[in-house]
Chain A
């Protein structure tokens, strides 16, 4: 195996830590993220008992971060997984079949892409998260579901178009023609010959998409339509905004975690893509 560069190892390490928080955060000896430490309001960084301090509600910031990691990573992974799956199926299929199906699909992708991401997300979230009784608050789990669905819908045309483009470039190659002339079924050609070749490109973009989704969740929470009162990084930023004058560390902490995670996913996406490019160059 070839060795990885230092930044890559750091990025993998950081994402590993975030995954640990997300999956096994409940092992850590914290109280609930929204447990109120009444005597310890707005404690600074590195105070005793609260390593990352507390906010003006008396929430321990480290406990909030761990719970927020779970939520933000869950939303990101779910949206990218779903969006990637649906998008790549649609993209690969339409590029393979061509003809009218492809034209319709491209038009639909273009429609999705012609509305800026965040505008579409805002519209979807606001429509989907409307209660039948408009005076009742929408429960957090439903907000999370709505966020995942909306972000998935946004990712479908982005990832779909990349899958389509990659399939286009592979479907015309000789080995595909050869497989077809030997009487291989289309489904088998797609799974055996197209998907393995398209997958690396999709993985590279999926890393970038995780970053996009994390940022989108935070943006929506700042605008008050995400999970502003819940345990997510965006929620913490939205709450911290109110205290930015007197307790700015309540903003620094979530911003730091969010930025480092996005830097890591972007870096890994770049690494995967550059490996891919060098492989392409050899072909």
Chain B
């Protein structure tokens, strides 16, 4: 029973955080020293602006405005983008942008883990040897280089000088696998370099600690092979840290994706944020930030939940904590 109430409590906490985040963004918009209706409709008449004010609830004060936005948002109405010629639904924009960003995130995480896990296991196994030292140094340098630097260097060398890959744009999977991936390779590399080093360093430190545990000596004395000990007895508990770190790094990844998506013109969710700010589309900004926070918080919850499956020890510890 206590387990269920623990999770209920956790979900309630997350809901409160989400409400406060969205309310904070909503308040922030009201802090803009300019009349929002004038920004959204720069060439409209005063009557049109008045209509917009009532429609969006700008006339209701901060809390009334927030409640109206929240009511619409929960029902899937995320507001509109205002052009000089008319309006577009934010939800259509996001529906178009979402798969691009999600694919970018998935490819990045998969690439990062696919490189980091063998590297981390290898350097933990050969700790202090040359292979370990070289990877440590390279990864440390890599972790300090910002992703936009990698992106720009890739564009200069692979995109412009060698002309191997297109530097701008996006193609959906339905256009063919190579079409799709040739647009994704450089963004994914730029985003995953930093993650690879974070993951590898974490996994290495964690596995070194696990290798000193008594049960490893026990397993070795039973005559189990190094490989089996490494993957079965050492990697499995260490992968928990990796999972948690994957969740934590999601925030940095989303932020990085904004820059990377706008450098490579991927037109994902990150680009929508950029577009909203450049074009002063504040309704778009508010809804997009809410979607990002929702996704981020939800992802963290899923990771928290799955930790219990990977390492049964944490289940009780968490409940008692």
Spell out A's residues near B (CB within 8 Å). Answer: 107-108, 110-111, 113-119, 122-124, 126-128, 130-132, 134, 211, 215, 218-219, 222-225, 237, 241, 244-245, 248, 251, 255, 258-259, 262-263, 266-267, 270
Contact of B31 among A127, A255, A270 (CB under 8 A): A127
Q: Name the A residues within 8 Å of B258 (CB-CB).
A: 118-119, 122, 219, 223
Q: Name the A residues within 8 Å of B278 (CB-CB).
A: 224
Contact of B146 among A113, A116, A241, A259 (CB under 8 A): A259
- Alpha-carbon distance between A244 and B153 when the two chains are bound, in angstroms: 9
| A222-B259 CB under 8 A given contacts A241-B152, A244-B155 | yes
Q: Quote the shortest CB–CB distance from B139 to chain A (angstroms).
A: 12
Q: Is the CB of B148 within 8 A of A251?
A: no
B106 contacts chain A at the CB level, 8 A cutoff: no
Q: Is the CB of A130 within 8 A of B34?
A: yes
- Alpha-carbon distance between A111 and B156 when the two chains are bound, in angstroms: 39
Q: Name the B residues within 8 Å of A255 (CB-CB).
A: 149, 152-153
Q: Quote the shortest CB–CB distance from B262 to chain A (angstroms).
A: 6
| Number of residue pairs spanning A and B whose beta carbons lie under 8 angstroms apart | 129
Q: Quote the shortest CB–CB distance from B26 to chain A (angstroms).
A: 11
User: Which of B85-93, B206-214, B285-293 has 4 or more CB atoms under 8 Å from chain A?
Assistant: B285-293
Taking A116-B254, A237-B148 as known contacts, 11 extra A-B pairs with beta carbons closer than 8 A to each other, sorted by chain A number, are A113-B251, A114-B17, A115-B289, A115-B296, A118-B256, A123-B277, A127-B28, A211-B144, A263-B141, A266-B140, A266-B144
Q: Name the A residues within 8 Å of B32 (CB-CB).
A: 127, 130
Q: Is the CB of B149 within 8 A of A118?
A: no
- Alpha-carbon distance between A258 and B145 when the two chains are bound, in angstroms: 8
Which of A119, A123, A130, A211 has the most chain B CB within a 10 Å cutoff?
A119
Q: Is the CB of A114 within 8 A of B149?
A: no
Q: Is the CB of A245 within 8 A of B251?
A: no
- Alpha-carbon distance between A108 and B32 when the two chains are bound, in angstroms: 22
Contact of A225 among B24, B141, B277 (CB under 8 A): B277
Q: Name the B residues within 8 Å of A251 (CB-CB).
A: 152, 156
Residue of B nearest to A7 (CB): B137
Which of B24, B141, B149, B256 has the most chain A CB within a 10 Å cutoff?
B149
Residue of B nearest to A256 (CB): B149
Q: Is the CB of A267 within 8 A of B140?
A: yes
Q: Quote the shortest CB–CB distance from B117 to chain A (angstroms).
A: 23
Q: Name the B residues within 8 Å of A223 (CB-CB).
A: 258-259, 262, 274, 277
B321 contacts chain A at the CB level, 8 A cutoff: no
Q: Name the B residues within 8 Å of A108 (CB-CB).
A: 20
Residue of A nearest to B137 (CB): A7
**19 A-B residue pairs with CB within 8 Å:** A107-B17, A113-B251, A116-B255, A117-B252, A118-B255, A119-B289, A126-B280, A127-B29, A127-B32, A130-B280, A132-B34, A219-B146, A223-B258, A225-B277, A241-B152, A255-B153, A262-B144, A263-B141, A266-B143
Q: Name the B residues within 8 Å of A248 (CB-CB).
A: 156
Q: Is the CB of A117 within 8 A of B16?
A: no
Q: Is the CB of B21 within 8 A of A111?
A: yes
Q: Is the CB of A126 within 8 A of B39?
A: no
| A258-B140 CB under 8 A given contacts A111-B20, A111-B21, A224-B278 | no
B267-285 contacts to A (CB < 8 Å): 273-274, 277-278, 280, 285
B25 contacts chain A at the CB level, 8 A cutoff: yes
Per DSSP, are chain B's interface residues mostly helix, strand or loop, or mixed?
Answer: helix
- Alpha-carbon distance between A181 and B148 when the two chains are bound, in angstroms: 55
- Alpha-carbon distance between A218 and B293 when the two chains are bound, in angstroms: 23
Q: Is the CB of A119 within 8 A of B292?
A: yes
- Alpha-carbon distance between A223 and B292 when the two chains are bound, in angstroms: 18
B177-222 contacts to A (CB < 8 Å): none
Q: Name the B residues within 8 Å of A127 (CB-CB).
A: 28-29, 31-32
B104 contacts chain A at the CB level, 8 A cutoff: no
Q: Quote the shortest CB–CB distance from A270 to chain B (angstroms).
A: 8
B33 contacts chain A at the CB level, 8 A cutoff: yes
Per CB-CB distance, the 6 closest pairs between chain A and chain B, nearest first, are A118-B255, A116-B251, A263-B144, A116-B254, A126-B277, A116-B255
Q: Name the A residues within 8 Å of B33 (CB-CB).
A: 130-132
- Alpha-carbon distance between A128 and B255 when the two chains are bound, in angstroms: 19
Q: Is the CB of A219 within 8 A of B273?
A: no
Q: Quote the shortest CB–CB distance from A127 to chain B (angstroms).
A: 5
Q: Quote the shortest CB–CB distance from B125 to chain A (angstroms).
A: 22
Q: Is the CB of B24 within 8 A of A111?
A: yes
- Alpha-carbon distance between A270 and B143 when the two chains are bound, in angstroms: 12
| A115-B273 CB under 8 A given contacts A219-B146, A223-B258 | no
Residue of B nearest to A220 (CB): B259
Q: Name the B residues within 8 Å of A118 (CB-CB).
A: 254-256, 258-259
B160 contacts chain A at the CB level, 8 A cutoff: yes
- Alpha-carbon distance between A271 and B17 when the two chains are bound, in angstroms: 35
Q: Is the CB of B148 within 8 A of A114?
A: no
| A259-B149 CB under 8 A given contacts A117-B251, A266-B144 | yes
B118-148 contacts to A (CB < 8 Å): 140-141, 143-146, 148
1/0 per residue B6-40: CB within 8 Å of A? Answer: 00000001001110110011001101111000110
B297 contacts chain A at the CB level, 8 A cutoff: yes
Q: Name the A residues within 8 Å of B256 (CB-CB).
A: 118
| A107-B16 CB under 8 A given contacts A114-B21, A130-B33, A244-B156 | yes
B115 contacts chain A at the CB level, 8 A cutoff: no
B263 contacts chain A at the CB level, 8 A cutoff: yes
Contact of A117 among B255, B262, B297 (CB under 8 A): B255
